[in-house]
Amino acid sequence: MIRKVVIVSNFFERLPNSRPYLASKYFEQREDFEMHVVYSDFSHSNKKKREFDAPNYHKINTLGYSSNFSVIRIISHIIFSIKTLFFLKKMNVDLLFVTVPPNFLGYLLTKFSKKNNIKIIVDIIDVWPEALPVPVPAKKILNITFGKIWKSLRNFTIQNSDYIITESNYFFQLMQIDKEKKARIIYLKKTQENELIDYNSSISETLTFCYLGNIGRINDIDSFIQIALIVSKKREIFIKIIGDGDKKDYFIDKLNFYGINYVYYGKIFEENKKYELLKDSWFGFNGYKDTTEVALSYKSIDYWSYGIPIINSAKGDTSLFIKGNRIGVNFSENDLTYAISFLESISLNEVKLMKTMSYNFFKENFSYSSYVKDFDDILLNIYK
């Protein structure tokens, strides 16, 4: 029996660390499923319209937006959710795989699936409104106003789906998911096509930091600047930057102001090119504002996949990973002392060992093969 599965994601990207893309790859390789993808024609990452030229990919026209924090973005997500619902009503679907946020998308499609006896797997890739980088007083107001509605939509989705996936134990606990319910933690994964064997071959005596990915309001740019500035007084440093975002100009201006040596490469998505540019880095920066609920990030998985340990302030899982393995150093926005002392004194040989351990940690915990095993178990649970 061939079942029709539809992957629905407002943030779908054909990139090796995209969770909905991994799901599409998994189902595409199974002979007992006919796989379809429903995606937004506006790329959240690139802030521009796009179209995938691939079989069984279905584009939903939505509004574009320039800022991640805008009313237009919310409207765009609502339009995507409603249009997707009407599109699915025209299909004979057996299984839905939906990424949340948008919380409204999860709510609509969970109601639709229950009404039409369709199995639904929901992958919660972020927690709104908890993850919004706003001051604590504003977050408290949000939690008793609009945020309360957001949470109720997500809670309905959790209670009425056939299976829930979260990317971290921290999210699992934060949303108080019932352990008796069909639910599983699947850490962020990445398809690694090539074995990386030379990430220690060209590393120099210069302490090289790198920054990869979105440069946005949730990222703790100020702490990175402070760490780099203070460490630069003790040893030579250099920073490599790949990415973009609404705080990019602020980041570059600060580096220029303090005379910190850097090179900015812009946005690059080709894996081999990113690896070649960053492989000699000593550490990658994975810092977030304290008001942001991040437990495991795409940045950290990317860094480890290139054999790069991290300077980390993400909470929960990532922090515990670093405490239990030699794959980085933790800091908090309010206390940079230990991280600075660590970076001032670490030797090149110690870094090489950490780089090897970072890559091995990635292969063991975040590879595509581990994703396949996890998803095989989920389907056995759903269709047993």
Question: What's the confidence (pLDDT) of residue 144?
Answer: 61
Which is nearest to 60 in space by CA: 35, 89, 30, 82?
82
Tell me: cis bond preceding 309? Omega within 30 of 0 counts: no
Spatial separation of the C-alpha atoms in residues 216 and 237, rounded to whole Å: 23
Six-digit token string for 363? 């292969």
Question: Could you tell me if 311 and 210 are in contact, meaning their C-beta atoms sit under 8 angstroms apart?
Answer: no
Beta strands in 186-236 (DSSP E): 207-214
The region, left, alpha or beta by phi > 0 then psi within -120 to 50, assigned to residue 383 is alpha
| List of domains in the chain | 3-191+367-382 (3.40.50.2000), 207-365 (3.40.50.2000)
For the entire predicted model, the pTM comes to 0.71
Question: What's the confidence (pLDDT) of residue 138?
Answer: 60
- pLDDT tens string, the chain, 384 residues long: the values are 899 999 999 999 988 778 899 999 999 999 999 999 999 999 988 888 999 988 899 999 999 888 877 889 889 999 999 999 999 999 999 999 999 989 999 999 999 999 999 999 999 988 766 666 556 666 566 566 666 777 888 889 988 999 999 877 777 777 777 655 688 888 878 776 556 667 777 789 999 999 999 999 889 999 999 999 999 999 999 999 999 999 999 999 999 999 999 999 999 988 889 999 999 999 999 999 887 777 778 889 899 999 999 999 988 889 999 998 999 999 998 899 999 999 999 999 999 999 999 998 988 888 788 888 889 999 988 987
